[in-house]
Amino acid sequence: MNKKYLEKLEYNKVLELLCSFAKTYIGINKCKNLKPSANVEYLLNQTYESYNLICRNGNVPISEIDNIDILIKNLESNFSLTASDLLKLTHILKTSRELKEYFCFNNNEEYILISEYFSNLYTDKQLEKEINDKILDENTIADNASAKLKSIRKFQKDLSLEIKNKLNTIVHSSTYSKYLQDNVVTIKNERYVIPIKEEYRSKIKGFVHSISSSGSTVFIEPLSVFELNNELNNLKADEQIEILKILEDLSKKFSSITNELKNNVTLIGEIDFIFAKASFSKSINGIKPAINKNKYIDLISARHPLIDKNKVVPIDISIGTRYSSLIITGPNTGGKTVALKTIGLLLLMAYSGLFIPTNEKSSIYVFDNIFADIGDEQSILESLSTFSSHMLNIIEIVKSATKNSLVLLDELRLRYRSNRR
């Protein structure tokens, strides 16, 4: 279907609304690129199943997921991932598990069109739990991530306490207290130090690690804790090495399921897209229209989906049974253009698998194409260039339309009269 006709009928604005119901980047992208299809009955039934599932189980448990393409490539190249990367992959597993749990309480026979999306999701609850137990957040590995890491951190804690006790002895000593700027122990360059007044810096044997901006305070590491600080830094290095080993081991566990992860991302995006259509349909009080083979439209209490629910005036449109052409007349601002747009837009929505805001007894036909020449001007005083543009559009429609097409023309008689003048 030609893009310009979709825009004339404001189909793009419906897609903008639809996007707001999607949660993932894949779902949003699919909503943006949604196009009417000839496979209307399948799409509407798919939305019908999703709609019923929402009514039964509540909203589908989907939140934003990260694009993991680069992470998968790194895993396939045997690279180790960061804690943050591993949490992103774990979120995929968590989302997949929650989606399966959301769906598994239902009779699959009632949801034959959407059940495969849920059943094909890969889950690994044990791996998911292991990651969450060992990685507390993107910057923190749990002490219990390994026995060695737990031991290293215990030694660190004990050694830090010993260093601080030694320094506190100096800080609270009557001999040295007069040399101190503050009675505190602090850290500079990852080493424990004490703040000494600049004029007494020679009174404390040790290494200067920093000087205050005013120059009045010198941060000195006393010789008595030098070796202890070295040992503590060695433990910190050992800690980082052990953390890298932990991350490497966890990365290897994901390396064996890269295909499953990629498939999960695709399925989550599809589920998000399908349920976005159902949620949007629910928000506009849409119904699944009947589809007839007799080339007629019967829209009962049809409402334009872009007009405020509290202000829109429902209309009944019937064409194709007793007559194949319909002329709508009335005063300016009487709703003629809105009526035409409502017909075209509701059909496009249905062809895209979206429910339409009409009475449940409404019926539609699947036309092979919808053409529209609808202008925004409500005045007969149009310029020649605008008139010429409309005429070229109508010529194109006449050449392209078939007996199974729907043609919507707005203000055609007024344009003709305007051109004669």
* pLDDT at 144 (0 to 100): 97
Taking only the tens place, the pLDDT of each residue in 163-221 is 999 999 998 888 888 889 888 999 999 999 999 999 988 988 999 999 999 999 999 99
- CA–CA gap between residue 220 and residue 211 (Å, rounded): 9
CA 130, 135, 136, 138 dihedral sign is negative
Please state the φ and ψ torsions of residue 220, each to the nearest 5 degrees: -115, 140
pLDDT score of 181: 86
Q: Is the pLDDT of residue 113 over 80?
A: yes
Residue-range domain boundaries for the chain = 10-141+245-283, 147-242, 287-420
Model confidence, pTM? 0.86
Check the CA dihedral 204-210-216-217 and report its sign. negative
Q: What is the pLDDT of residue 387?
A: 66
Calculate helix-pair angle for 125-134, 226-255, nearest 10 degrees.
Answer: 170
373 or 236, which is more confident?
236
What is the widest separation between alpha-carbon atoms in the chain? 110
CA-closest candidate to residue 407, choices 325, 314, 348, 334: 325
Please write the tens of the pLDDT for every residue from 44-56. 999 999 999 999 9
Region 10-141+245-283: CATH code? 1.10.1420.10
**Percent of the chain topping pLDDT 70:** 94
Q: Treating both helix axes as pointing N-terminal to C-terminal, what angle do 336-351 and 11-19 enclose, rounded to 10 degrees?
A: 50
Same fold flag, 147-242 and 287-420: no
Architecture of domain 287-420: 3-Layer(aba) Sandwich (3.40)
Answer yes or no: is pLDDT of 4 > 90: no
DSSP alpha helix (H) spans, 59-146: 69-76, 83-103, 115-119, 125-134
- Residue 114 tokens, joined: 């959407």
CATH architecture of 147-242: Orthogonal Bundle (1.10)
pLDDT of 29 higher than 90: yes
